[in-house]
């Protein structure tokens, strides 16, 4: 006959933490087929539906990367919603200064995507490619090369602003810990 082991629950002080328990912890598995990770990131199954998928952080990022928040809205409605949310999310924008904000899945911000679009680049272009595209644009549209051409000057200014956005994002990436 096997000797019974003494529990750690006897006497005072208790020999285990008060928050510990002997019960099995319920762990939800990721809803992605073939994934056996812990699924603790809820995602809607369809817009305005209370039903949820539960993904691991990797698959939640993959799911959110392709989510179109402005699907079904006209250009004016999408711009209005973006302005309202930018106005209402001022505290989050302020926290970006401390590198607390940003997309969870590692994708680029809306400003970076717009800057890449202005330079005629794909969303996955690296900074060196963006720098080369900006230099090409600057050579074509610089006011010294096109004196008196207001359209070229406006295009040059837009390209300069796009490059500044991408340069700031690249500098933030280099200085982030980890």
Place of tokens 């904000």: 101
pTM value is: 0.43
- Residue 114 CB neighbour total at 10 angstroms: 15
CA dihedral sign, ordered 156, 159, 164, 167: negative
pLDDT bin (cut points 50, 70, 90) of residue 132 is: very high
pLDDT at 103: 47
C-alpha Rg value of the chain to the nearest Å:
26
- Residue 19 CB neighbour total at 10 angstroms: 5
Residues of the chain with CATH 1.10.287.110: 108-175
User: Which whole number is the average pLDDT over 62-79?
Assistant: 80
pLDDT at 91: 55
pLDDT at 83: 82
CA dihedral sign, ordered 75, 164, 143, 120: negative
- Residue 41 CB neighbour total at 10 angstroms: 20
Q: What CA–CA distances, in Å, run from 12 to 8, 9, 53, 62, 171?
A: 10, 9, 45, 50, 56
CATH of 108-175, one of 1.10.10.10, 3.40.50.300, 1.10.510.10, 1.10.287.110: 1.10.287.110
Instruction: Indicate left, alpha or beta for 99 from its phi (over 0: left) and psi (-120 to 50: alpha).
Output: left
Nearest of 63, 15, 11 to residue 35 by alpha carbon: 63
């Amino acid at each position: 006959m096997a000797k019974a082991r003494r529990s750690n629950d006897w006497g005072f002080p208790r020999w285990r933490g008060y928050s510990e328990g002997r019960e099995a912890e319920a762990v939800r598995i990721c809803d992605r087929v073939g994934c056996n990770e812990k699924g603790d990131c809820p995602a809607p199954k369809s817009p305005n539906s209370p039903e949820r998928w539960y993904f691991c952080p990797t698959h939640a990022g993959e799911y959110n990367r392709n989510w179109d928040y402005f699907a079904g809205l006209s250009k004016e409605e999408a711009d209005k919603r973006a302005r309202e949310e930018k106005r209402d999310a001022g505290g989050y924008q302020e926290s970006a200064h401390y590198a607390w904000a940003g997309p969870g899945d590692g994708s680029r911000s809306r400003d970076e995507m717009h800057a890449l679009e202005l330079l005629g680049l794909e969303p996955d272009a690296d900074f060196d490619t963006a720098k080369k595209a900006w230099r090409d644009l600057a050579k074509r549209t610089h006011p010294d090369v096109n004196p008196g051409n207001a359209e070229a000057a406006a295009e040059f200014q837009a390209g300069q602003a796009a490059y500044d956005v991408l340069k700031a994002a690249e500098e933030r990436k280099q200085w982030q810990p980890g």
